[in-house]
């Protein structure tokens, strides 16, 4: 009874993936959305030294916006943010490039604030296979060692952009629950990055978290996706994996110029045209749905989840409490 009462009182709001063109205005928007924590992408294809440059940029942002944000390192910082009406910022990598081919760098990036790291970004990496590859060889030998080290130091294994076998391997090899921080089920929309029922079921059974994406290329009907359709998808997903394993990872990319999406897709490894999940006619960042233009759209999701039958506690879970409970075990 006491545990139920404590959980009922919890009301954290967490968006577990954003990659915005950061400014005070965006931090203010996140506070208007009552976000207690945001997992931010700090690098894509950058190496270790380029990662250090990004750290310096964030130090400046923290200093200039200390009334709104601070660096988060564990779940207690989410509590602190909630109490102080600020947003705890948790660093994450969308690729493993900052650790290069040196396992000792795993501990170093953790010391500098990294709490989430994807083993791949669409393509084959030194650790695992990305979702754009034709052949999925699974986790590599180096990947197995890195998973052990990430478990040891406290960095979450994120498989959002990874292929299916690699993701199932990661779930099996990791001694801690893993996360898919920003993706949707492919029963709803068959994007390359969206996930199968089998994978989602396995993820949930092993204590992992799914962060549902609001990035238009991951949504049914793209920018024209309706709130009703999205919330019905959440309800169906909760039939595959426990609702306690579902949260939000919006993948918001507010105010980013289109040259950034080109960097995301090509990095330094390609000179060819690459539209990713876009197209020649729509090569840049897609327009957000009208009901989720920025993080303040979480209020609309709250209303939509209520309409499809979720309880108040379940809604609180999806909008933040489930991620908070996950952070306790990082």
Q: How far is CA 41 from CA 93, 266, 272, in A?
A: 6, 17, 25
CATH architecture classification, 15-327: Alpha-Beta Barrel (3.20)
State pLDDT tens for residues 281-304: 777 889 999 999 999 999 999 999
CA dist 259 and 252 (Å) reads 16
User: What's the pLDDT score for residue 9?
Assistant: 73
Across the range 190-210, mean pLDDT stands at: 97
pTM over 0.75: yes
**pLDDT, tens digit (0-9, with 9 covering 90-100), for 298-309:** 999 999 999 999
Q: Any bridge partners for residue 37, and if so which? A: 14, 88
Q: What is the mean pLDDT of the chain?
A: 95
Spatial neighbors of 154 by CB under 8 A, at least 6 apart, are 110, 115, 330
pLDDT band at 4 (very low <50, low <70, confident <90, very high): low
Check residues 258 and 65 and name the one with the higher pLDDT: 65
Kindly indicate the confidence band of residue 32, based on its pLDDT and cuts at 50, 70 and 90. Answer: very high
Q: How confident is the model at residue 250 (pLDDT cuts 50, 70, 90)?
A: very high
Q: 214: closest CA among 257, 261, 181? A: 181
Beta-bridged to residue 14, according to DSSP, are 37
Percent of the chain with pLDDT over 70: 98
Residue with tokens 């918001």: 252
**Residue 1: pLDDT over 70:** no
Asked if the model's pLDDT at residue 8 lies above 70, the reply is no
Closest CA to 122 of 103, 136, 104, 142: 136
pLDDT of 6: 55
Least confident range from 31-40, 98-107, 250-259, 306-315: namely 250-259
- What share of the chain has pLDDT > 90, as a percent? 88
Local structure of residue 287 (DSSP, 8 states): P
Q: Is the pLDDT of residue 20 over 80?
A: yes
> Kind and range of the H or E element at 180?
strand 179-183
- Kind of pairing between the strands at 114-118 and 156-158: parallel
Spacing of C-alpha 261 from chain mean position: 17
Tokens 């950058």: give the residue.
Answer: 46
Beta bridge partners of residue 40, listed in sequence order = 18, 91
CA distance 140 to 297: 39
Task: Map out the domains of the chain as residue ranges.
Answer: 15-327
First-to-final CA distance of the chain: 26
pLDDT tens profile 160-196: 999 999 999 999 999 999 999 999 999 999 999 999 9
pLDDT of res. 270 = 81
């Amino acid at each position: 009874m006491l545990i139920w009462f404590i959980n009922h009182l919890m009301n954290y709001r967490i968006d577990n993936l954003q990659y915005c063109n950061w400014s005070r205005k965006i931090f203010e928007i996140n506070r208007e959305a009552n976000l207690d924590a945001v997992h931010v992408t700090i690098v894509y294809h950058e190496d270790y030294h380029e990662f250090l440059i990004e750290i310096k940029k964030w130090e400046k942002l923290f200093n200039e916006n200390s009334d709104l944000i601070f660096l988060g390192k564990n779940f207690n910082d989410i509590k602190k943010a909630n109490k102080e009406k600020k947003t705890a910022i948790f660093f994450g990598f969308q690729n493993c490039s900052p650790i290069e081919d040196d396992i000792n760098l795993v501990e170093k990036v953790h010391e500098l604030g990294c709490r989430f790291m994807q083993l791949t970004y669409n393509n084959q990496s030194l650790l695992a296979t990305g979702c754009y590859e034709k052949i999925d060889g699974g986790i590599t030998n180096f990947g197995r060692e890195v998973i052990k080290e990430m478990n040891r130091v406290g960095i979450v294994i994120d498989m959002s952009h990874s292929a299916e076998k690699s993701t199932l391997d990661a779930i099996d090899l990791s001694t801690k629950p893993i996360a898919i921080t920003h993706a949707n089920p492919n029963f709803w929309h068959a994007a390359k990055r969206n996930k199968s029922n089998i994978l989602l079921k396995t993820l949930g059974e092993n204590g992992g978290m799914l962060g549902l994406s609001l990035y238009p290329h991951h949504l049914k009907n793209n920018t024209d996706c309706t709130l009703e359709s999205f919330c019905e998808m959440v309800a169906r997903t909760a039939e595959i994996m426990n609702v306690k394993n579902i949260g939000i990872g919006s993948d918001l990319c507010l105010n980013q110029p289109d040259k950034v999406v080109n960097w995301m897709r090509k990095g330094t490894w390609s000179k060819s045209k690459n539209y990713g999940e876009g197209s020649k006619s729509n090569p840049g960042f897609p327009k957000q749905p009208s009901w989720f233009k920025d993080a303040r759209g979480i209020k609309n999701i709250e209303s939509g989840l209520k309409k499809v039958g979720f309880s108040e506690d379940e809604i609180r879970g999806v909008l933040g409490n489930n991620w908070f409970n996950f952070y306790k075990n990082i």
